[in-house]
A and B are shown apart, each in its own frame.
Chain A
Amino acid sequence: MTRISIDPITRLEGHGRIDLFLNDAGSVDEAFLVIPELRGFEKFLEGRPVEEMPQITSRICGVCPEAHHAAAAKAADAVYNVEIPEAAEVIRRLQYNAFMAGDHATHFYALGGPDFIVGPDAPASERNIIGVINKVGLELAGKVIRMRKESHEVAELLGGRRIHPVGMVPGGISKPVSAETAKRLREIGAYMVEFAKESLGIFDNLVLKDPRLRGLIISDAYYNKTAYMALVNDQNQPDAYDGHVRVVDAQGNEVVRYHPRDYLDHIAEAIVPWSYLKMPYLKQFGWRGATAEASESIVRTGPLGSLNASTGMQTPLAQAHYERFYATFRGTPVHQTLAFHWARLIELLQSAELVNRLAHDERLTSPDVRTVPSGTPRVGVGTVEAPRGLLTHHYVTDENGIVEKANLIVGTTYQYPAIQLSVATAAKKLIRPGAELTEPIMNGIEMAFRAYDPCFGCATHALPGTSPLEVRAFSAGGVLVDGLRRNGDGSLERITALRPDAASPAANAADSPGGAR
Chain B
Amino acid sequence: MTAKLKLAMYCAAGCGGCDISLLEVHEHLLDIVAAADIAFWPAATDFKYADVEAMPDGEIDVCFVNGAIRNAENAHIARLLRAKSKVLVAYGACSAFGGVPGLANLYPVDDVIDRAYTTQSTTLVDQSLRPTPSAVHGAGSAASGTAVGLPAIAGTVTSLADVARVDFTLPGCPPSTDRVWEVCQAIVAGELPASPAIVGAGGKSVCDDCRLEKHGTRVSKFVRSHEIVAEDERCLLEQGIVCMGPATRSGCGGQCTDALMPCRGCYGPAGDSLDQGAAMVSVLGTLIDSDDEDVIRETISQVVDPAGTFYCFTLATSLLGHARSANPDQEARS
Q: Enumerate chain A interface residues (CB-CB to B < 8 A).
A: 1, 3, 10, 13, 19, 21-23, 29-30, 32, 34, 36-40, 42-44, 46-49, 51-52, 55-56, 59-63, 65, 76, 80, 124, 145, 148-149, 152, 156, 159-167, 169-171, 174-175, 264, 267-276, 278, 280, 283, 287, 370, 372-373, 394, 400-402, 405, 407, 409, 457, 462-470, 485-488, 490, 501, 503-506, 509-510, 512-517
Nearest CB in chain A: distance from B262 CB, A: 9
Nearest CB in chain B: distance from A145 CB, A: 5
Set of chain B residues within 8 Å of A405, measured between Cβ atoms: 121
Contact B148 A29 (CB under 8 A): no
Contact B149 A373 (CB under 8 A): no
Which residue of the partner chain, among A62, A409, A503, contacts B16 with CB atoms under 8 Å?
A: A62
Contact B308 A52 (CB under 8 A): yes
B109-130 near A? 1/0 per residue, CB < 8 Å: 1011101110011111111011
Beyond A124-B46, A487-B48, whether A465 also contacts B12 by CB under 8 A is: yes
Beyond A48-B305, A271-B126, whether A169 also contacts B16 by CB under 8 A is: no
Set of chain A residues within 8 Å of B113, measured between Cβ atoms: 38, 40
Nearest CB in chain A to that of B109: its residue = A40
Query: Which of the listed residues B21, B124, B134, B149 has the most CB atoms from chain A within 10 Å of its own CB?
Result: B149
- Is B59 among interface residues, defined by CB-CB distance under 8 A? no
Set of chain A residues within 8 Å of B76, measured between Cβ atoms: 505
Contact A171 B226 (CB under 8 A): yes
- Is B171 among interface residues, defined by CB-CB distance under 8 A? no
Which residue of the partner chain, among A401, A407, A463, A517, contacts B14 with CB atoms under 8 Å?
A: A463
- Is B106 among interface residues, defined by CB-CB distance under 8 A? yes
Contact A3 B146 (CB under 8 A): yes
- Is B304 among interface residues, defined by CB-CB distance under 8 A? yes
Set of chain A residues within 8 Å of B271, measured between Cβ atoms: none
Contact A166 B259 (CB under 8 A): yes
Which residue of the partner chain, among B77, B106, B123, B130, contacts A268 with CB atoms under 8 Å?
A: B123
Q: Enumerate chain B interface residues (CB-CB to A < 8 A).
A: 11-21, 23-24, 26-27, 42-43, 45-51, 53, 67, 70-73, 76-77, 99-101, 103-104, 106-107, 109, 111-113, 115-117, 120-127, 129-138, 141-143, 146-154, 173-174, 177, 224-230, 232, 255-256, 258-261, 264, 304-305, 307-309, 312
| Bound form: Cα–Cα A345–B278 in Å | 50
Inter-chain pairs besides A268-B124, A490-B46, 13 sampled, C-beta below 8 Å:
A30-B141, A40-B109, A43-B116, A47-B305, A56-B100, A161-B255, A163-B21, A167-B261, A273-B130, A273-B132, A407-B121, A465-B12, A516-B72
Set of chain A residues within 8 Å of B143, measured between Cβ atoms: 1, 3, 19, 21, 29-30, 32
Beyond A175-B260, A503-B50, whether A465 also contacts B11 by CB under 8 A is: yes
Interface of A is mostly: loop
Nearest CB in chain B to that of A407: its residue = B121
Set of chain B residues within 8 Å of A63, measured between Cβ atoms: 15-17, 20
Set of chain B residues within 8 Å of A462, measured between Cβ atoms: 13
Set of chain A residues within 8 Å of B104, measured between Cβ atoms: 39-40, 43-44
Contact B17 A268 (CB under 8 A): no
